[in-house]
């Protein structure tokens, strides 16, 4: 899934916050990576244009049932 948007820095500002929407569910699954890439700067120069984020599984641990006689 790809999404886009824009972020504005005031003159001299070196960091900003972006909001990444996560569509939550209750399925137990591995942690997932996502990536943010900044492109097409206006009146600015990009130093490090990409970053990796991590969405942590918060649906508990996978349970294993063992059947016996
Ligand atoms: Ca989940």
Compute, in angstroms, the gap from residue 63 CA to the centroid of ligand 1: 15
- Ion ligand 1: residue ranges with CB closer than 5 A: 25, 27, 29, 59
Predicted local confidence at residue 21, as pLDDT: 85
Compute, in angstroms, the gap from residue 24 CA to the centroid of ligand 1: 6
Predicted local confidence at residue 1, as pLDDT: 81
CA distance readout (Å), 21 to 7, 26, 30, 64:
15, 16, 18, 31
pLDDT in tens, 9-41: 999 998 889 888 888 889 988 999 999 999 999
What global pTM score does this model have?
Answer: 0.67
Compute, in angstroms, the gap from residue 1 CA to the centroid of ligand 1: 16
């Amino acid at each position: 899934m790809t999404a886009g948007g824009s972020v504005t820095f005031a003159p001299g500002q070196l960091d900003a916050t972006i909001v990444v929407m996560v569509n939550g569910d209750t399925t137990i699954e591995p942690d997932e990576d996502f990536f943010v890439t900044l492109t097409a700067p206006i009146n600015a120069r990009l130093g490090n244009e990409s970053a990796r984020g991590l969405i942590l599984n918060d649906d508990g641990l996978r349970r294993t049932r063992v059947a016996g006689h």
